[in-house]
Structure formats: structure tokens, C-alpha cells
Structure 1
Amino acid sequence: MASFLSQVSASLGLTSITLLSLVGSAQAFSFVSEVEGSSAKGDIFLKAVVLETGERVVVEDLSFISGATIVSNDEFSGGNTGAASADKGDEATTGISQEDANAAEIVTNLTTANLNNIVDTEDSGSFQIDLDFARAIDNLLIWERGKNSDLGVQALDDNGNLIGNFFKVSRDLWTDAGFSIDTTEIGNAQAVGSFGLNIAQDLGVSGPVSRIRFSSESGFNGPDWKFVGTAAERESQSVPEPGLLLGLGLLSTFLVSKRSRLA
């Protein structure tokens, strides 16, 4: 009898783990941004994100950019020339605004939790920029000012070689992030869109990565972007869907009842 109950308990444990794993392994997804600050010109600090799986990831478990390599970036020669540049809210207290941005200046805007520190791209600009994350990530979270541009994404290995799949985040995929920003590059506030990618499933790699190449082409309509990753090793846990919790509860009740009858 004890052996039977042990086997059932083990099966329940394995079932729970399997179900939780299925819940936690999402493909391209939308997410909720929890922010502090509402002024489109000022600071809008990210506090946490809630993934479609129900997992709430606080800022301490997010991975920010720690380094950048500019593979290519259209040259800035005045006006609306060039491609990727550093930009920030008119009244933001962090970040910089720099048209002819170098790698360190791009990192300055991407290493903060202030979603009003971004990288702006001119409408017809092209770039390829490799970004290093401070901690290996399993999901990539993207914000785009305007919700009207495309963005290319592909993972890199530790040696800087492209791996997995190229993923084009097309402009029709953005969902409303719930806030707007007004930066030095524009004259009025624009709504921000967001979109999430699962590193393994969407980028076609075997596990978490620490480097990703981001790119834009002339037809991408100049994405204005901010990136953060969810650290692959983090404290927050996936929260099962209500239906899954109910199912596990019924299974647990069945086992207790079964054990009482066998006793």
C-alpha cells in the first residue's frame, strides 16, 4: 500500500512539474508592463512585467544591456540622416540624447529601467547592433515607440556567431504597453507598443543566450526601441492558469480519498 501511494505521489509530482513546464514555455507573446511615472516627457521606470503565463518578474530578475558592438550603422551627417541614435524623454532624469551615438552611449540608454531612455532610428535608416545582456536570458521583452515599425532579432553564441532563426518583429505584432513617451526626437507623445519573444522557441536556440543582434533595414520604418530580458535564473515562479490549479486540486482530492479507502 505504501508503495502504491509513493508511486501515485511521484506521478502527481511529475504531472505537476510537466504541467508547470508547459505553462511556462510560451512562444511569442504579449506582456503587461508595470511602471512608475506617467509623464510622457519624464521618467517612466519599469517595476515588473507580467508574462502571459501569469509569471510576474520583478525588476531584480530582469537582465539589462551591459555592452554593445555596432556592426553597422548608417552615418549621421545632419538632419534626419543616420540610423540608430540615443534618445530620451525631454524631462527624463536618466539617459542621454545623442544623434551620432557610439556603442557606450547606446548602452547608457539600454542599461536603465527607465523606459523613456531609448534608441531612436531614422525612418529609412539601417543598422546591425550586437547587444550583450548582463545575465543570460530566456525571454526577450521589447518596447517600440509609435507601434509602426519593424525590427530584426537573431541570437548570437558566445563567440559572436549568428545562431538559430532570424525573427522579424513586424509592425502588426505590437500590443499597447499602456503608456506614451515624448522624446527629444519628436514633437508630441507617441503610444508605446510591446512584444515578447521566447528565446528557445522563437529564436530556435537550445537554451538561454547572453548576446543578440538587432537590426533594421530601410523598409522597416525606423524602429525606436528598448530591450530587457528575463534572467534565465530568477526567483519568480510561473503561476499556473486557474484551470490547471483546479485540475491539480481535484487530483489531490482524489488521492486523499483513495488513500482513506485503502487505509
Structure 2
Amino acid sequence: MIAKNLLLSTGIALSAVVGVSGAAQAASFTTNLGAGSNPPKGNVFLQSIEQNGQTFTYGTNLFQVTSVDIISNTGVSAFSAGGAGADAGDNATKPSPNRDNLGTDTASDVKATQYLGNNNLNNIIDTEDNGAFDINVFFGDEGVGRSSEGFDNLFFYERGKNSKIRVQALDVDGNLIGTAFTITEDLWGDAGYSIDTLEITGAQEVGSYGVSFDQLGLDDSVNRIYGLKLTALNGTGDNAFNGPDFKVFAGTYVAGTVPEPTTILGLGSVAALALVRRRRLKKVSSL
């Protein structure tokens, strides 16, 4: 699996260098797994994310959820008293031994934080098909700064690639800002791995999708957000969200690092080298 991800990274790096602006390639990204990863039932450790030739490294410029506030959580099934519950791979390291129901109490907030607040992609929030929720997630006191050049800031994973989730930004006081953006089923890309969790009986592919400040309706005056309101609905037909099973991270890319010419030539892209040179000249002329 790690070798596969490295090959995927090389392919995406080649295509991204030709179009370094970032905007054209936003939303798709490559997931690199760390040592000890053993999907689908075991641990799946996120090491880094690559987008448009740039790397978001976990613990450096890629951040986990630090706290959760479950506003509402509804829907009843054989598995859960609420729409969303804490779930993990059958053999994965997890904060608790069993799949846990989640309510709207403090203990549920803590449990959800434990499952979202680590880099194990086999610790997730699982939602029943008829479930609905409003969940606020936060990324610490420093928040998340706007990425440069159209790079994404929020990186979502969804087990099954068959659900919607609505996203809206929160300011430093926890107030909604910008506009809501819905990740629909057709937007999920291939994250490159599958997971088999306690709630299901077989492995399912995981989808991935990146969300930018622009998609959240945040103009250039908004340089930082502190959290997200995540919503799932239990409607029917096109309004059905189908119970998203998710994990989310936040990252910030700051412009200033471009691929070295030898690296680009190694990829065989003379056009990409010319583009980078033009970008460098533009930076120098603006000083």
C-alpha cells in the first residue's frame, strides 16, 4: 500500500508541476501512509498529504481536530442510539474497545474528539444511513490559516464514498461565517486504501476530498478559521446524506517553496521548468 501511494504521488506531482497555480488541481490529493499501517482492519496512519506538488506533513502543517461539540445527533438503528457514533478498524488501536454511541453530552464530545483527534484513519465517526447530526469541530487556539495559491485547507475522508457531508467555517468565537459547501457523493476521489471497521462486515474503499477557503465562501479578508460546522441530513432522494463515515484534517500551505529545476527535469517536463522560472521572475520583480 505504501509503495502504491508513492507511485500515485509521483504521478500527481508530474501533472501538478505543469499547473502549479493550485486552483485547477484543488480538491484532489494523495494520501501517504506511515509505518505500521495495516489496512483494512488494522491501523492506517496518515503521514502526509500531497497536493499540486506540495506536501502537508502531519504534525507540521497538517493538523488534527482538537475538540468537538456535538450540537445534535438523531436517528435510531440497531447499531446506534444516535446518527453518529465512534467507530474503528476491527484490529486497529482505538480509544475504546467497542463501537460507541454518541449523544450531545460532554462525554460524547470527549469521545468524538478522541476518535477524530489522531492520525489513525481507521478511527472515524460513523453515521447510520438514517442518521442526522450537527457537529462542530475545532482545530486549536491558533486555528487554520488560509493556504496560498488556491491550495486546499480542509482534507476529508469518507468510508464508502457514498455519502454527503455539509461544511461551513467557524470564526474564533465559534460563529458561522461564509457559506455552507456540501461534499456530494460524486466528488469523492480515491484515497488509495480501504478500511473494515467494527460497524461493517467487510472492507470498503475510502474517498477523499479537499475543501478550500473559496469553496466556503470566505473572501480574501478572512485569513484564518478556527473550526467547522459539519452537518448530515436524513432526507430522501437527492436530499439524503446517507450517513457520512468520516475523518477530517486541516492544513496550511504557504507559498515560497517551488520544485528545484533538477527535480522538474527529472520528471521530464521542460514546460514546467519554464513556468517555474517565470514564477520566480515574477516574485523577484515584486520585491
Change (3 A) 1:173 1:67: same
After superposing the two structures, state which structure 1 stretch, 40-49 or 132-141, moved more.
132-141
- Give, as a single letter, the amino acid of the residue that structure 2 aligns with 1:136: G
After superposing the two structures, state which structure 1 stretch, 238-247 or 30-39, moved more.
238-247
Structure 1: gaps of 5 or more residues:
1-21, 254-263
Work out the percentage of aligned pairs sharing the same amino acid. Answer: 37
For each residue in 1:148-202, what CA deviation from the matched residue of structure 2 results, as whole angstroms up to 9, or x when unmatched?
0000000011222211011010001001100000000001000000000112x11
| Contact residue 172 and residue 226 of structure 2 kept, 8 A | yes
Aligned mates of 1:84, 1:160 — CA distance in 2 = 21
From 208, 211, 216, the counterpart of 1:194: 208
For each residue in 1:212-248, what CA deviation from the matched residue of structure 2 results, as whole angstroms up to 9, or x when unmatched?
10010001000000000104679x9465985343234
Report what 1:259 is aligned to. Answer: none
State whether structure 2 residue 225 is matched by structure 1 residue 209.
yes
Which secondary structure state, in structure 2, belongs to the residue aligned with residue 44 of structure 1? Answer: coil
Q: Alpha carbon RMSD of aligned pairs, Å? A: 2.9
For 1:64-75, what aligned pairs fall within 5 Å after superposition? 64-74=64-74
Report what 2:156 is aligned to. Answer: 142
Report what 1:181 is aligned to. Answer: 195
Structure 2: gaps of 5 or more residues:
1-19, 147-152, 235-239, 282-287
Report what 1:95 is aligned to. Answer: 95
Report what 2:21 is aligned to. Answer: 23
1:63 Cα deviation after fit:
1.2
Change (3 A) 1:250 1:183: closer
Which secondary structure state, in structure 1, belongs to the residue aligned with residue 215 of structure 2? Answer: helix
Change (3 A) 1:35 1:74: same
Change (3 A) 1:119 1:248: closer
Q: Which has the larger radius of gyration?
A: 1
Change (3 A) 1:67 1:250: closer
- Using the size of structure 1 for normalisation, the TM-score is 0.79
Report what 1:113 is aligned to. Answer: 119
| Contact residue 73 and residue 133 of structure 2 kept, 8 A | yes
Aligned mates of 1:27, 1:100 — CA distance in 2 = 36
Report what 2:47 is aligned to. Answer: 47
Change (3 A) 1:252 1:29: closer
Aligned mates of 1:31, 1:239 — CA distance in 2 = 17
Change (3 A) 1:246 1:65: same
1:207 Cα deviation after fit:
2.2
| Contact residue 28 and residue 202 of structure 1 kept, 8 A | no
Between Structure 1 and Structure 2, the one with more strand by share is 1
Report what 1:122 is aligned to. Answer: 128
Aligned mates of 1:83, 1:131 — CA distance in 2 = 17
For each residue in 1:24-45, what CA deviation from the matched residue of structure 2 results, as whole angstroms up to 9, or x when unmatched?
5567511000013233110010
Aligned residues: 232
From 205, 229, 247, the counterpart of 2:275: 247
Aligned mates of 2:208, 2:233 — CA distance in 1 = 20
Between Structure 1 and Structure 2, the one with more helix by share is 1
- Give, as a single letter, the amino acid of the residue that structure 2 aligns with 1:30: S
Change (3 A) 1:227 1:247: closer
| Contact residue 75 and residue 131 of structure 2 kept, 8 A | no
After superposing the two structures, state which structure 1 stretch, 114-123 or 35-44, moved more.
35-44
| Contact residue 77 and residue 128 of structure 2 kept, 8 A | no
Report what 1:8 is aligned to. Answer: none
Report what 1:33 is aligned to. Answer: 31
For each residue in 1:116-143, what CA deviation from the matched residue of structure 2 results, as whole angstroms up to 9, or x when unmatched?
0000000011100011113422400000
For each residue in 1:56-75, what CA deviation from the matched residue of structure 2 results, as whole angstroms up to 9, or x when unmatched?
11112211111111111116
State whether structure 2 residue 248 is matched by structure 1 residue 227.
yes
1:94 Cα deviation after fit:
3.0
Aligned mates of 2:279, 2:21 — CA distance in 1 = 18
